[in-house]
Structures are given as structure tokens and as C-alpha cells.
A and B are shown apart, each in its own frame.
Chain A
């Protein structure tokens, strides 16, 4: 969806057109939910975060700066809310980043496709939050370096570096599980 369309919807909503915000929810409900789900891997939490993100976006719509992309703004909220939950729960015990590779689980042909997906998602879940965030934004909402930098409020060089580290760790982990 073009940025101009989003900016126009925000403008319409601020001018009192409730349908404009409904259109934004329809447009971004799925990616926002996916960001939260892949960050937390818990559908209940992802649902709560999606609701909270849209409510906050609605309440703070007048603070939205149209020179930035609308989706960057709401994805940032989704990432930040997810990171807050992760901080509180400290759920990422034993991240891949700090762990030695596990013993191989067997050749890839023995693993069914859905099992492979589970292993991949488990590996993503075990990444440090800052590495997980770039993987989620790259693979689940298809952002490029520049957009990821805007969402995470870091420079594109740091995005690139985090993404490389994350992918390297995942590659090593998947190889140790016999998937590669």
C-alpha cells in the first residue's frame, strides 16, 4: 500500500472519518499480528499486542509524522511492545547466540516439512531479541534495510550487521540439527 494512501487515511481519520481507521486496521492487522506472534511465539500475547498497538495508534494519531511511513510507525510499536513483554518475562533463556550447537537431529529428508518449520521457528525464538527483531521484520513483513532501520530507530549499517549475525547463527543452528 502506498504511503500516500496511508497518510490520506490518517488525515481522513483525524478529520472525523472513522472508516479511514478501519481501512488502516484491515490493511495492517495481519502484519502487526505476525510481528508480535513471531517475536513472542504466543498467539494470546500477539493478539493482545495487536489490539494494544491499534488502540495506541488511534489515540496518538495526531502525533504521527507523515514524513515517515505509517507502517514503520505501527511496526515499531509492535516490536517495542513485544520487547517489553520479553524483558518482563525474560523468556529467552539459552539464546542460540550464546549456546553451542546441539547434536544433529538427523538428516533433513527425515524431517517432515512442518517439523522443519518448527525447528526453524524454535531457532528464531532462541535468538536474542535484537536479532530476532531483524529476522521478523525481514521475513515476516518483508522490510528492506532502510525500512527496518526506521522501525528500529537504528542506522541501516547496524541493521545489516544484526541481520548477518542472526542469519549466521540460524545457519549454524539448522546445520547442527541436520536441516542444512
Chain B
């Protein structure tokens, strides 16, 4: 089973274009990850500040 999987995911021969193909995949992954992290940080920040304010209001 293990051998079969490894065989199936053999690195395809990209020839002269390895740099172009791999770097375009890399750029895509990088940009998407940056956007996700950025959005997520923004979200947790917004949530935290909202909860803080709500707790303050309820406390008073």
C-alpha cells in the first residue's frame, strides 16, 4: 500500500519548465496563506476587542 502511494505521487518530469511551474504554485500558495493569516488575525482581534467591550459594559 505504502509503496503504491509513493509510486503514484512520483514527481512528474517538468523538463526545462520546473522553475516556472513550481514557482507559480509556490507564489499561489504563499499569497493565499498570507491572505488567510491576515484575515484570521483581523478576525481574532475584532472578536477580542468586541468581547472586551461587551464585558466592560456588562460589568458596569
Whether chain B is bound by chain A comes out as no
